[in-house]
Amino acid sequence: MKILKDTKKELEIEITGETHTLCNTLRKTLMEDEDVEAAAYVIDHPIIGEPKLYIKAKNPRKSLKKAAETVKSRCDEFKNLIEPFKDEK
């Protein structure tokens, strides 16, 4: 991850090696936060571009951390739900 812009109300980061999957999940989760005014991402080039995530919030770093923890928690919950079926064919 590389920080491109970091002000009191705005944060823009480049997330190296990631795709639409993580970025869209983070964007959607960020928008669930009442403190977030805007969250968006862009991938300038579909093959060689790295995603850039933009957040405008009361405290964008705090909101990003909260969103990442929420995504992790949801992934763990999903994993636990499908765990009993992993050996079925």
Q: Which domains does the chain have, with CATH numbers?
A: 2-85 (3.30.1360.10)
Q: Which of 16, 12, 17, 7 is nearest to 27 (CA)?
A: 12
Q: What is the pLDDT of residues 16-69, one digit of tens each?
A: 999 999 999 999 999 999 999 999 999 998 888 999 999 999 999 999 999 999
| pLDDT at residue 87 in the model | 76
**Residue 88 confidence class, pLDDT cut points 50, 70, 90:** confident
- Whether the Cβ atoms of residue 69 and residue 32 lie closer than 8 Å to each other: no
Residue 89 pLDDT > 80, yes or no? no
Q: What is the pLDDT of residues 56-87, one digit of tens each?
A: 999 999 999 999 999 999 999 999 999 888 77
Q: What is the pLDDT, as a whole number, of residue 20?
A: 93
